[in-house]
Structure 1
Amino acid sequence: MRETFVRNKVLSVLVIILLLTNLLLLFFFVWNKPADPARTSNRSRGGEVMQLLEKEVGFSKQQLDQYKQLKEQHWERMKTSFGELRTARDNFYKLLNENSVADSVITAAADSIGSRQMEIDVQTFRHFREVRGLCTPEQLPHFDSVVQHVMKKMNNYRKSPPKEDSLKR
């Protein structure tokens, strides 16, 4: 066998190169997994707001530090609200397991979801009011424009078209 490799040096070198290339590809596919798109988009969205505040509104380093504090406080409050909203939705859809459910029970469960969502929207509104309070009078028009842009993006994200239903194929 060794004699065959010696006789066909070119072929031997090509086999070794192909083997190394395959190992390299295997390494990249197994150990170099792409980032989770959901996590990346969440991270970039938070970073995007900071970049907008810095570049579009003209926030100083001090204002950005104050914004970071407000943002952390806001998300601590929001964690509870999002958990309550998730629980309200879970309870609502658990009603599907019941054979018969009164319309009043369905309406009460839907109202519970609505009130939780309202709390989230009010907290978000108050958060942006606090951030707006960090602005100088010259920055206010820029901030108002940026907030409208961010809110439109958030609403478009929530209203993104549904993915294709696999059952309809």
Structure 2
Amino acid sequence: MTKNRFYIFIIIGLLISNLLLLVFILIARSPHHKGPRNLIIERLHFDENQVQQYDGLIRQHRMQMMEKQHELMDAKTQYYSLLKNKDQKNGDALVQQIGKISMETEKINFKHFQNIRKICRPDQVQAFDHLIDEFESLFAPEPKPPHER
């Protein structure tokens, strides 16, 4: 066998193994990757009008959350920059500010889900209440493999 044929077999073997890996990844994707939007629409059986209302709520929620994330990052940056200085008198105030921003974030999330409940028809409210019981598992980030912890 010539060197060229050997290299061609190696290249073809690598291409096949990469394609198989790609197919495996796409097939093995868990339903958790559907995303909360699609999951809520599916579980609550939203009609087209409700989906439009829900998409508006999502846009509003994302804007509010983005604003709070920027505030939180700014406060944390200021807090950790105190490590450079000997004067750390503002530390407690910054920690309180970080806590306040976290509390506001939770209130925004709570209000978002109240608004989702409001667009539910009476026959969908029970499904929403069941969904609330599953929030921790549905919206928690996927656990990292042991080697990434």
Same fold (TM over 0.5): yes
User: Is residue 2:67 matched to residue 1:83?
Assistant: no
Q: Report the counterpart of residue 125 of structure 1 in structure 2.
A: 110
Contact 1:63–1:134 under 8 Å retained in 2 = yes
The 3-state SS of whatever aligns with 2:121 is: coil
- Let me know the Cα RMSD of the aligned residues: 3.5
TM-score (norm 1): 0.65
Deviation at 1:124, TM superposition (A): 1.1
C-alpha distance in structure 1 between counterparts of 2:84 and 2:109, whole Å: 34
Q: Report the counterpart of residue 73 of structure 1 in structure 2.
A: 60
Could you say which structure has the larger radius of gyration? 1
The farther-off stretch of 125-134 and 16-25 is 16-25
Q: Which amino acid aligns with 1:18?
A: F
User: Is residue 2:48 matched to residue 1:64?
Assistant: no
Deviation at 1:165, TM superposition (A): 10
How is 1:2-13 mapped onto 2 (pairs within 5 angstroms)? Answer: 11-12=1-2
List structure 1 runs of 4+ shifted beyond 6 angstroms.
Answer: 163-166
Contact 1:50–1:64 under 8 Å retained in 2 = no
Structure 2: gaps of 5 or more residues: 23-31
Q: Report the counterpart of residue 52 of structure 1 in structure 2.
A: 39
TM-score (norm 2): 0.72
User: Is residue 2:102 matched to residue 1:114?
Assistant: no
The 3-state SS of whatever aligns with 2:120 is: coil
Contact 1:132–1:140 under 8 Å retained in 2 = yes
User: Is residue 2:6 matched to residue 1:18?
Assistant: yes
Contact 1:52–1:146 under 8 Å retained in 2 = no
| Higher RCO by CA contacts (8 Å cutoff, separation 6 or greater) | 2
- Per-residue CA deviations over 1:133-161 (Å, capped at 9, x if unaligned) read 1101111111122134234544x539x68
Deviation at 1:71, TM superposition (A): 0.4
Q: Report the counterpart of residue 29 of structure 2 in structure 1.
A: none
Structure 1: gaps of 5 or more residues: 1-10, 34-42
Q: Report the counterpart of residue 134 of structure 2 in structure 1.
A: 149
Q: Which amino acid aligns with 1:157?
A: P
Percent of aligned pairs sharing the same letter: 23
C-alpha distance in structure 2 between counterparts of 1:118 and 1:90, whole Å: 18
The 3-state SS of whatever aligns with 1:120 is: helix
Deviation at 1:164, TM superposition (A): 7.7
Q: Report the counterpart of residue 93 of structure 1 in structure 2.
A: 80
